[in-house]
Amino acid sequence: MACCPCAAKSIKKTKQKEDQIKASSEKPNLEQTLDVKKKAILSGESEKPTAQTFSFRELAAATKNFRADCLLGEGGFGRVYRGWLESINQVVAIKQLDLNGFQGNREFLVEVLMLSLLHHPNLVSLLGYCADGDQRLLVYEYMSLGSLEDHLYGLTPDRKRLDWNTRMKIAASAAKGLEYLHDKANPPVIYRDLKCSNILLGEGYHAKLSDFGLAKLGPVGDKTHVSTRVMGTYGYCAPEYAMTGQLTIKSDIYSFGVVLLEIITGRRAIDNSRPAGEQNLVAWARPLFKDRKKFPQMADPILQGQYPTRGLYQALAVSAMCVQEQPTMRPRIADVVTALSYLASQNYNYNPEPKRNSPQASPSTPRPKRDNSRKPAGGSSRKSTSEE
């Protein structure tokens, strides 16, 4: 991947996040918007408070004092616990922020503000928060199946491998969440932290995007980008954003392409345990994208060949388009949703007995996108309106 080494240094590599410190004159009204809403939310004056406040005592009781057996996982901002909140009679996930001075506080505010303003079936819901003294905690709906990362890489005897149909369903649902942020929110929201650990799964593998602490309001008016410090996660970050700090919605499309590639291949975006040349997923995939005879080599071996050949080709073609070096060549998220919704609707049934007299039709692989007016392969040009 063409992340320049100096930029890559500032990208999160060891789960450390940086904060944008200086306000740039190019920046749209994020700060103003946040300042207004921040005051309203923190002073309880918000017209429609969608997230309620909880006391620290209540959240400690919900998690049996943050007991280790309630721990769901740990990320760059702190630990996440499963809890039972008596007041709302609900199982919840509680993230206790590891406050790193000012930075953690800002992520907390952005998360509360973004999730209070944005609502969609494919975005995780924020039920409330706690800002008692120095404590900063976020209370989310509990996603019973954990993260996509757990399912792709953390296979345990009690967890069944993801089949092809489920993978496509998850990819389509995540794309719908991103479509809401890019195309329905006004101004658009650039998510900036799309990766497998931030795609959470509920019953029936219903996928939702989580973690909005890094999200930014997108450019407004005739601006084409937002200038920011480079943040995000190494391996998912678009090369032009890593090099220039200029953030556009196409940076998210790149990250989405990496996630889709992980879903198809079962390989991590960055995997230092693999041989040189295979450690960076996109760098490994680029030459293979050019030769469709090699596409079957890219499918997750755990699938054991149980995928539709044509569907595999089409999903890889969508991913290839998303990770193109040139941001303008990457598709819009609405087109990605159309293509993936089509693939998710195909419901592939694995038939172990090959039919003798009906050889599979040779797959026609869609070519990577060359200009923006064309739609990605796999679906009609009609924009999908269904939401999961």
Known binding positions for ATP = 95
Maximum separation of any 2 CA atoms in the chain, in Å:
72
Q: How many residues belong to the chain?
A: 388
What binding mask, one character per residue, do residues 265-304 give for ligand ATP by CB under 6 A, x or -?
----------------------------------------
Q: Is 77 in the site for ligand ATP (CB under 6 A)?
A: yes
Number of other residues whose CB lies within 10 A of the CB of residue 13: 12
* Number of helices followed by number of strands (H, E) in the chain: 12, 12
Cis check for the bond before 187: say yes or no (omega within 30 of 0): yes
Nearest approach, Cβ of residue 202 and ligand ATP (Å): 8
| Segment contacting Mg ion by CB under 5 A, of 98-106, 170-178, 211-219, 378-386 | 211-219
Q: Does 93 bind ligand ATP (CB under 6 A)?
A: yes
Q: Which is nearer to Mg ion, 211 or 262 (CB)?
A: 211
Give me the residues paired with residue 128 across strands: 52, 139
Q: Considering beta carbons, is residue 142 or 313 the nearer one to ligand ATP?
A: 142
128 membership: H or E segment, kind and range: strand 126-130
**From the CB of 212, what's the least distance to Mg ion, in Å?**
10
Within 8 A by CB and 6+ apart from 183, the residues are 332, 333, 334
Q: Is 59 in the site for ligand ATP (CB under 6 A)?
A: no
Out of 58, 111, 150, 211, name the contact with Mg ion by CB under 5 A. Answer: 211
Question: Using the rule CB under 6 A, which residue among 20, 46, 122, 210 binds ligand ATP?
Answer: 210
Find tokens 């499963």 and name the residue. Answer: 82
Give, in degrees to the nearest 5, the angle at Cα 126 between 214 and 114: 40
What φ, ψ does residue 309 adopt, rounded to 5°? -55, -45
What is the rounded distance in angstroms from the CA atom of residue 210 to the CA atom of residue 365? 33
Which one of residues 73, 121, 187, 363 is an interface residue with ligand ATP (CB under 6 A)? 73
Q: Is 262 in the site for Mg ion (CB under 5 A)?
A: no
Of 41-49, 136-144, 224-232, 293-301: span binding ligand ATP (CB under 6 A): 136-144
C-alpha angle 129-130-135 in degrees, rounded to nearest 5: 135
3-state secondary structure of 198: helix
For residue 254, the partner it binds in ligand ATP, Mg ion, none, with Cβ less than 5 to 8 A by kind, is: none
Would you name the residues annotated as active-site residues? 193
Instruction: Name the site residues for ligand ATP (rule: CB under 6 A).
Output: 15, 72-77, 80, 93, 95, 124, 140, 142-143, 146-147, 150, 197-198, 200, 210-211
Residues near Mg ion, by CB under 5 A: 75, 198, 211
